[in-house]
Structure 1
Amino acid sequence: MIEINADVEIIIKQAMLSFVATVNEDGTPNLSPKASLTVRDGALYFADIASPRTIENLKRNPAVEINVVDIFQRRGYRFKGRASVLPSNHNEFSMIADWVRATNGPEYPVDHVVRIETTLITPLLSPAHVFADPHRSQEEIKNTYYHKYGVKFVGP
């Protein structure tokens, strides 16, 4: 498993939404949004709250790809790996399910927890990084996109 560094973890927390790609039985792609992607003890996890097709696909074929991009920083990461659907009596299942409920409320169902064994992590950069002024700071990029989307930053 490839190590998940601090920057990857920060992007996952800030982006708040990721997209998980699996393979349907007929070979076509299935893309599912996830707001539950998290890092615990150096591993990637997500909860199945309402994604039965994703779970069916992973039980049949554990190949998975996940993309997470912070829309304001215009950067993120792509993860490739193999997924394991954890049994409900597994300690890691409880750890993630408890976190989801603490974050979102006790009414959130956690039907499954998926642990990803990452085999490849690659950075994703938008053209704002690739083609724009190379001396433009990350802060300038963020401020540009806050303005573009009409967002006023109120965080720490």
Structure 2
Amino acid sequence: MIEITADAEAIIKGAILSFVATVNEDGTPNLSPKASLTVRNGKLYFADIASPGTLRNLNANAAVEINVVDVFLRRGYRFRGKAFILPPDGDEYSTIADWVRISNGPEYPVEHVVRIDVTSMSSLLSPAHIFAEPPRSQDEIQSTYRRKYGMRLTGE
């Protein structure tokens, strides 16, 4: 199993939204947005708040891929691994479920908590990092995309 790096954890926290890919029974892909992806003790977790298709797929086939990209930094990570649906009476489940409720409100139903045992992790880079000549700094890229999306940093 691969431990999640500090940089990957920072991207997950900054991006907030990630996408979890599973495989439907007929072999077609299922992509589900998640705002609950988090890292605890070097492991990935997400909460099932409203994703019955994702859980149905994981019960049949535990293979999963998660992509997370910070739209302003124009970089992120791809995680592949095996999903484990945790029992609701365990410590891992409680830690993640409590975090979701504290972060979003007690009305959020945490139907399940899923731990991902990551087998591979790779960087995702936008062409903004790859093709710019001369190469642009991370600050330049972030500033460009904040302007593009109409966002300002504090003090701008």
- TM-score in terms of structure 2 length: 0.97
What residue in structure 2 maps to residue 67 of structure 1? 67
Alignment of 1:30-49 (within 5 A): 30-49=30-49
Residue 128 in 1 paired to residue 128 in 2?
yes
Query: What is the rounded CA distance, in whole Å, between the counterparts of 1:134 and 1:47 in structure 2?
Result: 42
Contact 2:129 2:135 in 1 (8 A): no
Taking the aligned partners of 2:70 and 2:48, their CA distance within structure 1 comes to 22
Following superposition of structure 1 onto structure 2, how do residues 1-150 of structure 1 map, counting pairs within 5 Å?
A: 1-150=1-150
Amino acid at match of 1:15: A
Give the CA RMSD over aligned residues. 1.0
**Equivalent residues, number:** 155
- Consecutive unaligned residues in structure 2, runs of 5 or more: none
Deviation at 1:153, TM superposition (A): 1.8
% identity of equivalent residues: 70
- Which amino acid in structure 1 is aligned with residue 21 of structure 2? A
Q: State the secondary structure of the residue aligned to 1:26.
A: coil
Moved over 4 A (4+): none
In 1: Cα distance, 2:109 partner to 2:136 partner: 43
Which amino acid letter does the alignment assign opposite residue 44 of structure 1?
L
Query: Which residue identity lines up with residue 97 of structure 1 in the other structure?
Result: A
Q: Give, as a single letter, the amino acid of the residue that structure 2 aligns with 1:85.
A: I
Matched residue type, 2:92: E
Deviations 1:21-72 (A, max 9, x none): 0000000000000000000011000000000010010011000000000000
Distance 1:87 1:133 in 2: 51
Instruction: Label 1:105 to 1:128 Cα distance change in 2 as closer, same or farther (>3 A).
Output: same
Greater Cα offset, 131-140 or 42-51: 131-140
